[in-house]
Amino acid sequence: MAEKKAYLKQVSGITFIGKTDSNHWITLDGPENFGGSNAGIRPKELLLLALAGCTASDVVTILEKKKVKLNNFEINITAQMQEEHPQVYTEINLEYVFYGSNISHEAVERAIELSQTKYCSVTAMLQKAINIKHSYKIIE
């Protein structure tokens, strides 16, 4: 089993810097009224980007193998969070947006399906606790 490591260091209050095995630093922070300096992404927000980044990598790679040409690609993420503590996400919606011409709906649907059910490890972990939904649109 592979081992991964991460390192987190306090800068001040709830402002932290961290890095992982890839050796890239990131700033994590909170709002000023909670002891932060509002200088970085919130940890829960980073979770949403991790999910989107994981599935995006899968989908783009699968579509490249299928020779689907994209002019651009993005994912819009919305999440519902419960009001009481712990304020966890209860549902995450991913809207895949594909830009280009002659993009096959079947290829897109299959790429998303493979990412969601087989390849995206972040989805595999999160879907045990959170309802993850997805949709897509193609813009020519």
The string over 103-136, giving b where at least 16 C-beta atoms fall within 10 Å of a residue's C-beta and e elsewhere, is beeebbeebbebbbeebbebbeebeeebebebeb
Q: What is the pLDDT confidence band of residue 1, given thresholds at 50, 70 and 90?
A: confident
Show the tokens assigned to 61: 């790679």
Rounded average pLDDT over 85-111 = 97
Domain ranges of the chain: 1-41, 43-139
Which class is 43-139 in CATH? alpha beta
What mean pLDDT comes out for the span 3-30?
95
pLDDT tens for each residue of 73-84: 999 999 999 999
CB atoms inside a 10 Å sphere around CB 38: 12
The pLDDT value given to residue 9 = 96
Question: What is the tens place of the pLDDT at every residue in 22-63?
Answer: 999 999 999 999 999 999 999 999 999 999 999 999 999 999
| Predicted TM-score (pTM) of this structure | 0.92
* pLDDT mean across residues, the chain: 96
Q: What is the pLDDT of residue 115?
A: 98
Identify the residue whose tokens are 């490890």. Answer: 121
